[in-house]
Amino acid sequence: MMKIFNIVGARPNFMKIAPIMEAMQKAPEITPVLVHTGQHYDEKMSKVFFEDLDIPRPDINLEVGSGSHAVQTAGIMVAFEKLCVEERPDMVLVVGDVNSTLACSVVASKLLIPVVHVEAGLRSRDRTMPEEVNRLVTDALADVLFTTSRDADENLKQEGVPAEKIFFVGNVMIDTLLKHVDKARHSDIHRRLGLLNGGAPARYGVMTLHRPSNVDDRETLSGILEAVEHIQSKLPVVFPIHPRTLKNIRENGLEERVRRMKSLMLLDPLGYLDFLGLVSGSTLVLTDSGGLQEETTALGIPCITIRNNTERPVTLDQGTNTLVGMDRDLIRTTALDILQGGGKAGRIPELWDGKAAERITDILRRWDPAAFKSLSN
């Protein structure tokens, strides 16, 4: 039996770890252990996500809590090292690019415990993004690297990662989406928000915005809101607002401006099924989220990404995603083009078929820990 610690720390991790846990629980050779670092923890939202995604409650919760990048990463490392020394897992599996991913990878690597990185090789080429630093360090330490797209394979090879460590398996986020999308479409979110037209969803947009580069600078945030003000005059825009964004709107004196946008619907953060139901019925999505770029591509929904770069170029080359930076005019004109019948049709990228977690588990079942030990000695 191979004991594998599966690490979650923040909301995006839940959607990635859920199908992996499910697949591992069917593998007799693997004992999966779900470890929640507590990097982001909201009792109400965590409960919703665990219920929506059928995730078992964490076997272990380190309850580290929030803090600066350094404080949070250090806290996770201290708690996770103690856990690994006591429990001695055979492998540590991390997903994505949050601080928990980096912290647990460093600890495991120094304790000579093999590190598996799911969603390896994604690169924005922008080291001002903390996530990019987390990705680079984690991939440099990982012993098994699972990728979502062919460009990620090439990134890793260019950085000197041996080809035998790299496995192109597809996208676990899409595993979760495909499993739950039908159920999500039966959510009553449209009725609750008054977004029905003759019993069917009306035309509306969805927006998420949380990155410091977009919301921490008053001029940038004001420019984005100016574009949104024009877009919401053409169709309702639903905006589940991140606490950081709401705080900055208030502190920068933009609250009254937002209040005047009669068709901009501000909501508290939503659970997975409600949010997926909302996105799947939308006309367009405005976002700075990485995962939402992938989900809209899988759903065939036009996506406008308010960033200067993306670590997911497959959503641009093959999917429905358009990169517009923070240019208020480009945000507005791209949205209007979509509303007039434009926007990318896109196609589903290779291996985004709902079976990535099965492929991951099958590879790990056959992975030889002895080979790792011989390399470590």
pLDDT in tens, 97-131: 999 999 999 999 999 999 999 999 999 999 999 99
Among 180, 210, 230, 242, the one annotated catalytic: 210
Instruction: Please write the tens of the pLDDT for every residue from 281-325.
Output: 999 999 999 999 999 999 999 999 999 999 999 999 999 999 999
The reported pTM is: 0.94
210 is catalytic: yes
Contact at 8 Å (CB) between 35 and 60? yes
Domains identified in the chain and CATH numbers: 2-170+353-376 (3.40.50.2000), 181-339 (3.40.50.2000)
The pLDDT value given to residue 368: 78
Task: Please tell me the distance from the alpha carbon of residue 306 to that of residue 286, in angstroms, as a whole number.
Answer: 7
Four-residue CA torsion sign, 344, 288, 237, 199? positive
Instruction: Report the alpha-carbon distance of residue 306 to residue 288 in Å, rounded.
Output: 5
Q: What are phi and psi of 268, to 5 degrees?
A: -70, 160
Q: Evaluate whether 180 touches 53 at the Cβ level (below 8 Å).
A: yes
pLDDT value at residue 197: 80
Identify the pLDDT of residue 316.
98
